[in-house]
Amino acid sequence: MSDVLTMTLNNNVQIPQLGFGVFQVPPQDAERVVSTALETGYRSIDTAAAYQNEEGVGRAIASSGLPRDEIVVTTKLWNSDHGYDPALRAFDASARRLGLDTVDLYLIHWPVPAADRYVETWKALEKLAADGRVRAIGVSNFTVEHLRRLFAETGTVPAVNQIELHPHFQQTALRAEHAAHGIATEAWSPLGQGAALSDATITGLAKRHDVTPAQVVLRWHLQLGNIVIPKSVTPARIRENFDVFTFDLSTEDLSAIADLDTDRRIGPDPATFDMR
């Protein structure tokens, strides 16, 4: 039995609150790394067409022996595939690489406002959901402005917005917008790609709770209600990041971490990022 809570998305699909991300996991390592994650107990895997490791993720799922419906698989549509027909084709290609008939959660990776096609793309995702090819649809790196355009021009509220979120970039306003519309907040680079782990407040809390800095930061995300998808290729860290259910951060601990927000991203700005 896993201690990971299950979150219910706005269309009643369920997703573990703690999952495993595979950004920058080389294609040749993906099967091994995801197999380690599944053996550890993770039941949600976050990949993307752009990560070029969907095949390895699919092989790990196939060889795990786990029933398909026990694993939540997320993948994402890349920036060069915006538009209705390109999006449908991109999905087919991802599903084929994963070796899956259905994907649990399909996300628009970036809004690319310069291309001005994300509304059209979203309509293709609605079609994939209506056809039963995906169980839930969502977005990633959408700002309040991009979300509001979807609310105004389409019929489905995203189940998830996957955004950069860590102690130095806490996204308070965007999280409030999500809460107001029933969108789950999913944190990418939850550990600040490792940078949050050397912060003195975090290391102090780790010492006090007799856990590691990564465990403090992941526990903070969970207590905030975020879905969280830490990445590591190191088996001991993969296990460490899953072992976050033996302690609680107090209200004082949480407010000490709240004070670390610098409102500065480490990743690209969604308003301008248009790498294709």
Contacts of residue 269, Cβ cutoff 8 Å, sequence gap at least 6: none
- Residue 194 interacting with ligand NAD (CB under 6 A): yes
Residue 74 CA: distances (Å) to CA of 6, 153, 256, 273: 15, 25, 32, 22
Residue with smaller CB distance to ligand NAD, 12 or 262: 262
- Residue 121 interacting with ligand NAD (CB under 6 A): no
- List the 44-46 sheet strands across, edge first: 20-21, 44-46, 72-77, 103-108, 134-140, 160-164, 184-188, 227-228
Contact call for residues 146 and 122 (beta carbons, < 8 A): no
How far from the centroid of its chain's Cα atoms is residue 132's Cα? 21
Exactly one of 162, 170, 171, 185 binds ligand NAD (CB under 6 A); that residue is: 162
Pairing of strands 44-46, 72-77: parallel
Residue with smaller CB distance to ligand NAD, 109 or 135: 109
Contacts of residue 208, Cβ cutoff 8 Å, sequence gap at least 6: none
Task: Answer yes or no: 106 catalytic.
Answer: no
Q: Footprint of ligand NAD on residues 136-155 (CB under 6 A)?
A: 140-141
Exactly one of 124, 189, 220, 253 binds ligand NAD (CB under 6 A); that residue is: 189
- Neighbour-count burial of 235, counting CB atoms closer than 10 A to its CB (0-12 exposed, 13-18 middle, 19+ buried): middle
Give the residue nearest to ligand NAD (CB): 21
DSSP strands (E only) in the chain:
6-8, 14-16, 20-21, 44-46, 72-77, 103-108, 134-140, 160-164, 184-188, 227-228
Round the CA-based radius of gyration of the chain to a whole number and report it.
Answer: 18
Give min distance, CB of 133 to ligand NAD, in A. 21
Site string for ligand NAD, 212-251 (x = CB under 6 A): x-x--------------xxxx----x--xx----------
Pairing of strands 20-21, 6-8: unpaired
Residues in the interface with ligand NAD (CB under 6 A) total 26
Give min distance, CB of 211 to ligand NAD, in A. 10
Give min distance, CB of 166 to ligand NAD, in A. 6
- Residue 161 interacting with ligand NAD (CB under 6 A): no
* Segment interacting with ligand NAD (CB under 6 A) among 9-17, 27-35, 153-161, 193-201: 193-201
* Segment interacting with ligand NAD (CB under 6 A) among 64-72, 96-104, 173-181, 191-199: 191-199
Q: Footprint of ligand NAD on residues 5-24 (CB under 6 A)?
A: 21-23
Q: Take residue 263 and report the two structure tokens written for it.
A: 């409102």
Catalytic residue annotation = 51
- List contacts with ligand NAD (CB under 6 A): 21-23, 46, 109, 140-141, 162, 188-194, 197, 212, 214, 229-232, 237, 240-241, 267
